[in-house]
């Protein structure tokens, strides 16, 4: 039997503050198993419970000079384990929420990336069909749709009649609708796809 196991918690903590390794060993042997059971009941995981108690004892040794215990030492240790378990639970919840949000972000990112690729492909297709229009019709169409000019302004700039401009725009829209299909054509007209 060693001399330390006969000492009270108060005496052991006094020796601990002075750096007495024997006192620390006695505290560890006296409380490790009880604190482990206390942690395990809450965590339901042997490894995590062991880690929590070991971390607490490491803290106690490293901060032995600063520890100010105003209650029974055992109460201090139980409260410290409870707080560590609670903190571990919060970290675990945050980690789960973070991982869930990361999964959502990745899923949305894949969706957004897929949509961007499809939009780019459709834009290329629309641009190709616009470029295939006869030169004068293409010019009138681009002035109308891309530059937002009125039929009157286009007619004045090109030195032609409004009727000719209107006819050219109608013909170009009819050609694009037949080449692109109604869905792509509608998306283009709504401004959801830009060439």
CATH of the domain at 31: 1.10.1740.10
Domain range for residue 31? 4-96
Considering the domain boundaries, does residue 105 fall inside one?
no
Residues 34 and 78 in one domain: yes
- Structural domain ending residue among the three candidates 51, 77, 96: 96
Q: Give the torsion sign (CA, 17, 19, 23, 28).
A: positive
- Structural domain ending residue among the three candidates 96, 121, 147: 96
Residues 85 and 144 in one domain: no
Q: What integer best gives the mean pLDDT of the chain?
A: 79
Considering the domain boundaries, does residue 107 fall inside one?
no
Residues 74 and 11 in one domain: yes
Considering the domain boundaries, does residue 109 fall inside one?
no
Residues 10 and 89 in one domain: yes
Considering the domain boundaries, does residue 116 fall inside one?
no
Considering the domain boundaries, does residue 64 fall inside one?
yes
Q: What is the pLDDT of residue 34?
A: 92
Q: What is the pLDDT of residue 32?
A: 92
Considering the domain boundaries, does residue 78 fall inside one?
yes
* Prediction pTM value: 0.47
Q: How many CB atoms lie within 10 A of CB 56?
A: 19
- DSSP codes of every residue in 5-18: GGS-HHHHHHHHHT
Considering the domain boundaries, does residue 127 fall inside one?
no
Res. 3: pLDDT tops 60:
yes
DSSP E strand stretches across 79-138: none
Angle, CA 54 vertex, CA 53 and CA 59 arms, to 5°: 95
Q: How many residues does the chain have?
A: 195
Going from the C-alpha of 95 to that of each of 91, 129, 142, the distances in angstroms are 6, 50, 52
Q: What is the pLDDT of residue 90?
A: 62
Residues 84 and 12 in one domain: yes
Residues 83 and 165 in one domain: no
Count of structural domains, the chain: 2
Residues 92 and 136 in one domain: no
pLDDT, tens only, 43-79: 888 888 898 899 889 988 988 888 877 778 888 898 8
Residues 21 and 70 in one domain: yes
Residues 91 and 136 in one domain: no
**3-state SS class at 134:** coil
Residues 61 and 10 in one domain: yes
Considering the domain boundaries, does residue 115 fall inside one?
no
Token pair, residue 148, equals 């937002």
Token pair, residue 88, equals 């571990």
Q: How confident is the model at residue 92 (pLDDT cuts 50, 70, 90)?
A: low
Which domain CATH number covers 185?
A: 1.10.10
């Amino acid at each position: 039997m060693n001399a330390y196991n006969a000492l009270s918690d108060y005496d052991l903590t006094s020796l601990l503050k002075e750096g007495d390794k024997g006192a620390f060993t006695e505290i560890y042997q006296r409380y490790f198993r009880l604190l482990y059971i206390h942690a395990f009941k809450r965590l339901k995981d042997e490894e995590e419970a062991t880690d929590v108690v070991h971390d607490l004892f490491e803290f106690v040794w490293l901060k032995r000079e600063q520890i100010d215990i105003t209650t029974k030492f055992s109460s201090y240790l139980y409260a410290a384990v409870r707080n560590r378990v609670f903190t571990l639970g919060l970290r675990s919840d945050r980690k789960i929420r973070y991982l869930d949000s990361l999964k959502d972000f990745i899923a949305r990112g894949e969706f957004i990336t897929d949509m961007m690729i499809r939009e780019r492909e459709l834009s290329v297709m629309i641009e190709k069909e616009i470029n295939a229009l006869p030169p004068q019709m293409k010019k009138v169409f681009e002035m109308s749709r891309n530059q937002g000019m009125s039929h009157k302004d286009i007619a004045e700039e090109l030195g032609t009649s409004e009727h000719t401009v209107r006819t050219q725009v109608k013909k170009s829209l009819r050609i694009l609708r037949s080449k692109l299909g109604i869905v792509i054509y509608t998306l283009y007209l709504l401004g959801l796809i830009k060439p």
